[in-house]
Every structure is written in C-alpha cells, then in structure tokens.
C-alpha cells in the first residue's frame, strides 16, 4: 500500500459523512453577500421620479447614473460593475417603505443608495437599521437622520442646519435683523424652521414672523400676507417644489424686490423656469460647487462626463448625484474584492479628509454630514443661477 495515499473510510456512516462534506465544499460558501456576485455589485434606490418633487429626484439620479455608467465602461470597481436598481416612490413615504421592504425581502442588494426626501428617509432608516442594510448618501439635510447613534447611515451633503446657518450668517452680516421664516408643513419644513430659529437665537434674534404652507400650496397667499404684515427685511424659505414657487409669487404681488433666501432644494431647472421673472434676485444656498464653472477638478470631471453622456445641461442637483456616486464607488474600492456590508461600512467610516476634487468629505461620526460645503447663488434676470 502506498504510504502517501490516505485510505478511504469503509463504514457506511463514514462514507456518508465524507460525501456530505465533499458536496458542501463543491457548493462553496453557504450564502453569498447580498447584492454581490463575481461581476456585479447591486445598490438599491427608492427615490422620487414623479410627484411634487419629481424633477429634483430625476436630476439627482441623472448625475449618479452618469457616473456609474462611466465607471462601468472603465471596468467597474475591483472587476465588478455597479448596478443601480431604481424604483419610484413619488415622494410618498408609504411607497418608500413598501419599496424598502421589498429590497429587504429580496435580499439582493448590498446597500441603499441615494434615497430621497426627509419624511421618506425618516420612514426607511429604522427598517434598514433593523435589517443591517447600509444607507448611502440619502438626499435630505434633515437633522432627524443625522443622529450620532445611527449606524451605517452615511450622509454626505451638508445639513439643512448648515444651509440655514449660512443664510442667517449672510443676512445678519449685511445688517438684516427683521427676518421672517416660512416653512412647509411637513417634517422637512419643520426641521428647516428649527434650524433657522437656532441660527437666529445664536445671534440673540428671533423671527419677526413665522408662517407655514401646506404641500399643495393652497395657503401660500395667506402665509405671504402674514409674513409681510410684520414688515421683514428678508424671508427665509423652508419650502420645496410648488409651495416655494407659489409663496415667492404671492410675496412679489405685494412687495416686489423683498430679499428672499431659499435652500438648495429650490434650484431645479424646472423650478427656475416656472418662476420666470418672479425668481429674479432670489438667493439659494448650495451644498456642492457651482456646476457651470470648471475651476475645481470635480466640476471639470463632471462636465466632461455629462457631455459624453449626451446631456447638454448641468445643474447643482446632477452634480450632487455625481459626487454621491463617486464617493460610494471610492468606498466600494477600498472595501476590497472580498466585499461585504461590513467591509463597506468600515471603508466609509474610514474615509476622512478625502478630497473629491476640490471638495473634502469626512465620515466616521455616526450619521453626521461628511461635508460642510455651503455657498450662495442668486437667480439672475435671465432665470439662471450665478455666484
């Protein structure tokens, strides 16, 4: 008998156990990581492609898709192409929850990416936390999803608090003290109101008037009347979509030229077009660099990618989507070929002082924003944004 050859077991039970072990080895790992195959990485996205904020969601999604498409054309991440599975929730939190429950049930996505809206993310994050599903770059600046205890929730954009602080800082610096605040009557608007009030309080100020507007903008005229009765120097608009447009129009009917300051959610091409002459002079805070000036490397890269993809128009929104995708891809790369949810979370948590091309991001602080970038733009008489 050859001493180098191991004898096979002879008992029926032993032979059965060997066969079982061989079968398990042939099958490979008992369960692959959700959303990861030999050649693909699947990210799931529920966002608003229709409904009251559909144009915002479409533009942000466009930028992310342009990045991922270009990335995949170059071979993807560590030999895998990134698949972004996107479904519409029309900015309806109930649809958002149903979409995320379907993702969790299917167990075929590595993480959620680019989920849209304050009430929507507030509804989905508890589900994702319970399922161990990372949430990457949600589109909202709400403090409610930036809690330190949130694990595997990675906010990139500056918060609404950061935007409100920038607006109030600017207004008080130029000498305005009688500041009115109008907010949307939902969780988004209420959080903007709270952030604006906190920023004013830091400067020993209070709003001279506060008014709310419903999502359908049916009471925009009444809100404008209430605010203007207080004779404010300027207004901060914690509004999105139709409520913003109708409130600006109502204010202009009575007091044309009053300084109005809005958050980044206003700056969609559709909104600017709809506003027309009413938009002239409205200031808007932005959480990404100016997309029309190629002074920063990230903006030049984005402009080239958009042009190559056949998109003639650029915007802050699609640039934000592009940056979100670029940072997500960097984390996927750092997580390595043996990609898991755990390694992705570790890679993102370790992404600190990372230069995206003129814009720095730092994670690793719970749900806090990775970026504090905020700058102001203004709508000119041609309906275009200028710095």
What pLDDT, in 10s, does the model give residues 182-233? 999 988 899 899 999 999 999 999 999 999 999 899 999 999 999 999 999 9
Can you tell me the distance from the alpha carbon of 205 to that of 190, in angstroms, rounded to the nearest whole number?
19
Query: What was the pLDDT predicted at 15?
Result: 52
- Tens-digit pLDDT profile for residues 6-61: 344 455 544 544 444 444 444 434 348 999 999 999 999 999 999 888 888 999 99
C-alpha distances in Å from residue 260, one per residue of 12, 179, 181, 187: 84, 10, 10, 21
Pairing of strands 153-154, 81-88: unpaired
Number of other residues whose CB lies within 10 A of the CB of residue 206: 13
Residue in this structure with the two tokens 């102001």, named with its chain if needed: 376
- Provide the 3-class DSSP secondary structure of residue 77: strand
Query: What was the pLDDT predicted at 148?
Result: 87
Number of other residues whose CB lies within 10 A of the CB of residue 354: 16
Closest among 353, 284, 348 to 316, alpha carbons compared: 284
Q: What is the DSSP string of 216-269?
A: T-TTHHHHHHHHHTT--SEEEEE--SHHHHHHHHHHHHHHTT-EEEE-GGG--H
Count of residues making up the chain: 387
- Sheet containing 40-47: which strands, arranged edge to edge? 81-88, 40-47, 111-113, 135-136, 153-154
Can you tell me the distance from the alpha carbon of 153 to that of 148, in angstroms, rounded to the nearest whole number?
10
Entry pTM: 0.84
- Provide the 3-class DSSP secondary structure of residue 43: strand
DSSP 310: T
Query: What was the pLDDT predicted at 3?
Result: 41
Average pLDDT of the chain is 91
- Tokens for 25? 């080895």
């Amino acid at each position: 008998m050859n001493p180098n050859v191991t004898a096979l077991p002879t008992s029926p039970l032993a032979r059965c156990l060997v066969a079982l072990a061989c079968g398990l080895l042939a099958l490979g790992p008992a369960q692959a990581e959700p959303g990861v195959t030999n050649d693909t990485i699947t990210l799931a996205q529920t966002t608003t492609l229709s409904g009251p904020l559909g144009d915002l969601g479409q533009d942000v999604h466009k930028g992310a898709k342009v990045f991922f498409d270009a990335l995949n054309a170059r071979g993807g991440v560590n030999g895998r192409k990134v698949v972004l599975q996107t479904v519409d929730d029309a900015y309806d939190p109930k649809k958002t929850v149903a979409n995320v429950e379907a993702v969790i049930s299917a167990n075929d996505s590595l993480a959620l990416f680019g989920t849209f809206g304050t009430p929507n993310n507030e509804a989905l994050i508890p589900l994702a936390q319970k399922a161990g599903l990372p949430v990457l770059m949600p589109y909202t600046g709400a403090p409610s999803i930036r809690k330190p205890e949130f694990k595997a929730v990675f906010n990139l954009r500056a918060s609404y608090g950061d935007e409100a602080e920038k607006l109030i800082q600017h207004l008080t610096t130029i000498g305005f003290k009688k500041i009115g605040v109008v907010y949307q009557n939902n969780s988004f608007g209420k959080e903007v109101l709270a952030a604006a009030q906190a920023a004013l309080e830091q400067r020993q100020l209070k709003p001279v008037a506060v008014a709310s507007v419903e999502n359908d903008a049916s009471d925009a005229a009444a809100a404008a009347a209430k605010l203007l009765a207080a004779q404010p120097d300027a207004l901060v608009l914690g509004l999105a979509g139709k409520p913003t447009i109708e409130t600006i129009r109502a204010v202009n009917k009575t007091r044309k030229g009053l300084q109005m300051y809005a958050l980044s959610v206003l700056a969609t091409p559709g909104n600017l077009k709809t506003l027309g002459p009413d938009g002239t002079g409205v200031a808007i805070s932005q959480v990404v660099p100016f997309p029309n000036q190629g002074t920063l490397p990230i903006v030049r890269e984005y402009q080239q990618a958009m042009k190559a993809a056949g998109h003639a128009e650029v915007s802050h929104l699609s640039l934000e989507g592009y940056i979100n995708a670029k940072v997500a891809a960097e984390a996927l790369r750092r997580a390595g070929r043996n990609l898991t949810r755990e390694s992705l979370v570790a890679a993102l948590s370790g992404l600190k002082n990372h230069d995206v091309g003129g814009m720095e991001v730092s994670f690793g602080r719970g749900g806090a924003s990775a970026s504090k970038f905020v700058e102001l733009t203004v709508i000119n008489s041609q309906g275009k944004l200028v710095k």
